[in-house]
């Protein structure tokens, strides 16, 4: 049940919202980070465990959260990773036969501070007008910390620009991921059921994918496993020699948090190996590939976060509704100068949402084709990656159209 313990959310612009505390711990709590918002109607559990939100206080724009509780099967990493959570209303009822506990109890065990009962519409308007801001969630009493004290603490938080958070969440050692989509697997498509074999290897062989893990969502790996791939994930410190030692059929670079321009270890490695084998990047991986080629990135005003982001595939003309979570963007002009060609564009603001290299087997997207929960319009991109590993050729319009049409026919 929601508590009556008071809490506050203070922004660096001096705004302070007063509400009620939940999550956190039994004692007074305080959490600090960049305040961002997500427009998805559901999926709070997947968002809270998306490592791309590390260092951020997440606000959900939908009115009520927690109504279907928490189910262990739906998490995207080991535990909630946000710096704080903000909702308009926390449901007092958990109505879902799959749930094992309430949202509040789950956050409390993880030590994640959360606040409910504030006007999230007003908060989101402020973030849209002023951009993402640093903020503090606190349940400390006014006697111990005034509103001005909390605002000062918010202003002292390091900026997300220049923050190498991928180094914080990347696995410390390499390993394999073996779980497939299971009952959630789509029926149909190009490679989900046909299970192709890599060229030059024995029938039944699987594609070997080396994945540079900067904070990957589990469902990305599930999609690859479902498509007959053996996923070998590596820490962000992996060298070109580490990748080549696996003799992979393909290279994948994952999503993750923070400023892509400062993840130097991955950028340097990709400069050496990207394109030696078919290479695919998602979100932060998209940005890192662009940087490795010589492009630049810039910080968006308030980012793209939600399960309803429209994207046009420039190679096929089809529109995709996508799930996105990012605060940085690749500069299109610098990308073209580096040999990249835009393949997808965000229809809300015209920013770059995907690209391919004109001569090397490299492509990437800024959004999440594995979205769970969320739209499945972009799941064909995993099929494109598999086809690229089969042909070892750069991705083209024909491959995109064939994979997208197969998905649409399901």
DSSP 113-150: EEEESS-HHHHHHHHHHH-SEEEEEE---TTTS-HHHH
pTM of the model: 0.95
What is the DSSP pairing of strand 340-346 with strand 352-357?
A: antiparallel
Q: CA-to-CA distance for 364 and 368, rounded, in angstroms?
A: 10
User: Could you tell me the pLDDT band of residue 249, with boundaries at 50, 70 and 90?
Assistant: very high
Annotated catalytic residue: which of 81, 214, 229, 283? Answer: 283
Same-domain status, 146 and 175: no
Cβ contact 375:323 at 8 Å: yes
pLDDT, tens digit, 9 for 90 and up, residues 333-367? 999 999 999 999 999 999 999 999 999 999 999 99
- The domain spanning residue 202 has which CATH number? 3.40.50.880
The length of the chain is: 410
Cβ contact 181:279 at 8 Å: no
CB neighbours of residue 408 within 10 Å: 12
Q: Residue 3 pLDDT more than 80?
A: no
Assess if residue 273 is contained within a domain: yes
Same-domain status, 268 and 366: yes
Same-domain status, 20 and 92: yes
Q: Residue 88 pLDDT more than 90?
A: yes
Same-domain status, 112 and 179: no
User: Could you tell me the pLDDT band of residue 29, with boundaries at 50, 70 and 90?
Assistant: confident
pLDDT, tens digit, 9 for 90 and up, residues 287-322? 999 999 999 999 999 999 999 999 999 999 999 999
Same-domain status, 297 and 371: yes
Assess if residue 284 is contained within a domain: yes
Per-chain mean pLDDT for the chain = 94
pLDDT at position 267, please? 98
Q: CA-to-CA distance for 202 and 205, rounded, in angstroms?
A: 6
**What sign has the CA pseudo-torsion 241, 243, 249, 255?**
negative
- The domain spanning residue 62 has which CATH number? 3.50.30.20
Cβ contact 379:189 at 8 Å: yes
Give the Å distances, CA to CA, from 197 to 231, 278, 354, 400. 15, 15, 27, 20
Cβ contact 257:52 at 8 Å: yes
Quick check: is 46 catalytic? no
Q: Identify the domain containing residue 263 by its residue range.
A: 166-408
Assess if residue 160 is contained within a domain: no
Residue 160: helix, strand or coil by DSSP? coil
User: Which DSSP letter does residue 324 get?
Assistant: E
Annotated catalytic residue: which of 370, 376, 387, 399? Answer: 370
Same-domain status, 319 and 213: yes
- The count of C-alpha atoms lying within 13 angstroms of the C-alpha of 323, restricted to the half-sphere facing its C-beta, is 26
Angle at 382 between CA 380 and CA 386, to 5 degrees: 115
Q: CA-to-CA distance for 192 and 337, rounded, in angstroms?
A: 36
Assess if residue 253 is contained within a domain: yes
pLDDT at position 38, please? 97
- Compute the average pLDDT of residues 135-159: 95
Domain count along the chain:
2
Assess if residue 161 is contained within a domain: no
Annotated catalytic residue: which of 236, 344, 368, 376? Answer: 368
pLDDT, tens digit, 9 for 90 and up, residues 41-72? 999 999 999 999 999 999 999 999 999 999 99
Same-domain status, 73 and 206: no
- Compute the average pLDDT of residues 150-158: 97
pLDDT, tens digit, 9 for 90 and up, residues 225-234? 999 999 999 9
Quick check: is 370 catalytic? yes
């Amino acid at each position: 049940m929601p508590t009556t313990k008071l809490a506050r959310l203070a922004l660096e612009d001096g705004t302070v919202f007063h509400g009620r505390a939940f999550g956190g711990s039994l004692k007074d709590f305080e959490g600090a980070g960049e305040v961002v918002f997500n427009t998805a109607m559901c999926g709070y559990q997947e968002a809270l465990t998306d490592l791309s939100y590390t260092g951020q206080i997440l606000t959900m724009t939908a009115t009520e959260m927690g109504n279907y509780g928490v189910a262990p099967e739906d998490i995207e990493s080991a535990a909630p990773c946000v710096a704080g959570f903000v909702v308009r209303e926390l449901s007092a009822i958990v109505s879902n036969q799959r749930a094992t506990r309430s949202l509040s109890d789950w956050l409390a065990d993880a030590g994640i501070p959360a606040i409910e009962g504030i006007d999230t519409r007003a908060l989101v308007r402020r973030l849209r007008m002023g951009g993402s801001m640093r903020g503090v969630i606190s349940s400390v009493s006014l006697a111990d910390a005034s509103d001005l004290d909390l605002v000062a603490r918010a202003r002292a938080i390091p900026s997300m620009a220049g923050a190498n958070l991928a180094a914080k969440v990347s696995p410390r050692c390499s390993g394999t991921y073996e779980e497939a989509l299971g009952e959630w697997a789509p029926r149909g498509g190009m490679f989900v059921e046909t299970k192709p074999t890599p060229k030059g290897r024995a029938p039944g062989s699987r594609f070997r994918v080396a994945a540079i893990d900067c904070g990957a969502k589990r469902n990305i790996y599930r999609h690859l496993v479902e498509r007959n791939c053996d996923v070998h994930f590596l820490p962000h410190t992996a060298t070109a020699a580490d990748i080549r030692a696996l003799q992979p059929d393909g290279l994948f670079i994952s999503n993750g948090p923070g400023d892509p321009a400062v993840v130097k270890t991955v950028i340097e490695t990709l400069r050496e190996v990207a394109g030696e084998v078919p290479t695919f990047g998602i979100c932060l991986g998209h940005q890192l590939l662009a940087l490795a080629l010589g492009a630049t990135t810039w910080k968006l005003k308030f980012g793209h976060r939600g399960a309803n982001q429209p994207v046009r595939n420039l190679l096929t003309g089809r529109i995709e509704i996508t799930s996105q979570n990012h605060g940085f963007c690749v500069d299109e002009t610098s990308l073209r100068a580096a040999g990249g060609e835009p393949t997808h564009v965000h229809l809300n603001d015209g920013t770059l949402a995907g690209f391919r290299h004109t001569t090397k087997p490299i492509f990437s997207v800024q959004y999440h084709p594995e979205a769970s929960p969320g739209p499945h319009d972009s799941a064909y991109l995993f099929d494109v990656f598999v086809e690229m590993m089969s042909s070892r050729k750069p991705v083209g319009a024909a491959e995109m159209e064939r994979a997208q049409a197969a998905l649409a026919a399901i």
